[in-house]
């Protein structure tokens, strides 16, 4: 059974990273979780930073995310917030969701807001999106390569290649974009015997350039 992870809002905000994280979950490498409150934060900041984006398309992206990952929504976690302590009280809902869903990991780029000494009491660990993705590559390079290729296949204007996806991640400030090519693209002898599965054709992103306020990118 795949281990359970909670995706924080800051890692679901950048479009390409969001797409990759969702496809990693779809591949069965992890069971991804989030809450309505986490998604509210993602799409509120997208709309605030990119007011030209069509709200209908944003709503469609949110709907696709919900449909893409089975059993992704954590509910009834709110009572736990009162017994949790974090440097920023506004982050308690993320830890509460992790505790409620029995998640082992919180994937977040705001590590300072989730001190490990606090999380240990709840058997939870916080990891950056970079370290999380790189760990998935080490665990199952073929599946992650397939996810990257599927993202490239979903790009139409202009068409993309797997290397373009990694370039986009790097431009967004993700170390994974710089460190992945050797792990994904330089295939070991025999590694290419199993071709990546065809793309689902769905793309779980809305193009954006600005960064969400309060989220370190």
With residue 105 as reference, give the H or E element that holds it. strand 105-107
Q: Which two tokens stand for residue 179?
A: 């460190």
3-state SS, one letter per residue, for 119-132: HHHHCCEEECHHHH
Distance CA 117, CA 155 (A): 42
For 191-212, write each residue's pLDDT tens digit: 333 333 434 444 444 443 334 4
Tell me what pLDDT residue 185 has: 52
| Of the ranges 24-28, 140-144, 158-162, 203-207, the best mean pLDDT one | 24-28
For 58-70, write each residue's pLDDT tens digit: 999 999 999 999 9
pTM, rounded to two decimals: 0.83
| Whether residue 187 has pLDDT greater than 50 | no
Percent above pLDDT 70 for the chain: 82
Neighbour-count burial of 95, counting CB atoms closer than 10 A to its CB (0-12 exposed, 13-18 middle, 19+ buried): buried
Tell me what pLDDT residue 8 has: 98
Tell me what pLDDT residue 159 has: 82
Tell me what pLDDT residue 215 has: 39
| Whether residue 172 has pLDDT greater than 50 | yes
Residue bearing the bigger pLDDT, 112 or 187? 112
Residue bearing the bigger pLDDT, 41 or 187? 41
Question: In 3-state terms, what secondary structure has residue 115?
Answer: coil
| Domains: count for the chain | 1
Cα–Cα distances (Å) from 126 to 17, 116, 118, 119, in that order, read 17, 7, 10, 8
For 77-106, write each residue's pLDDT tens digit: 999 999 999 999 999 999 999 999 999 999
* Residue range(s) defining the domain that contains residue 90: 1-217
Q: In this structure, which long-range contacts are made by residues 185-188, counting pairs with CB atoms below 8 Å and at least 24 apart in sequence?
A: 185/145
Q: What is the CATH number of the domain that holds 61?
A: 3.40.50.1010
Strand partners, 31: 4
């Amino acid at each position: 059974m795949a281990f359970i992870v909670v995706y924080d809002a800051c890692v679901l905000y950048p479009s390409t990273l969001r797409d990759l994280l969702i496809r990693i979950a779809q591949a069965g490498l992890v069971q991804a979780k989030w809450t309505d409150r986490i998604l509210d934060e993602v799409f509120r900041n997208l709309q605030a930073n990119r007011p030209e984006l069509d709200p209908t398309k944003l709503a469609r992206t949110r709907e696709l995310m919900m449909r893409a990952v089975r059993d992704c929504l954590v509910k009834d976690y709110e009572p736990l917030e009162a017994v949790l302590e974090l440097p920023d009280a506004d982050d308690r809902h993320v830890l509460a969701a992790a505790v409620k869903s029995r998640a082992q990991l919180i994937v977040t780029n705001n590590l300072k807001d989730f001190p490990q000494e606090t999380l240990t009491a709840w058997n939870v660990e916080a990891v950056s999106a970079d370290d999380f993705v790189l760990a998935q590559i080490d665990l199952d390079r073929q599946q992650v390569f397939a996810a990257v290729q599927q993202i490239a296949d979903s790009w139409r204007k202009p068409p993309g290649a797997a290397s373009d996806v990694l370039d986009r991640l790097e431009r967004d400030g993700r170390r994974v974009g710089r460190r992945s090519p050797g792990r994904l693209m330089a295939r070991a002898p025999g590694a290419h015997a199993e071709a990546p599965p065809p793309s689902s054709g769905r793309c779980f992103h809305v193009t954006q350039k600005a960064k969400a306020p309060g989220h370190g990118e």
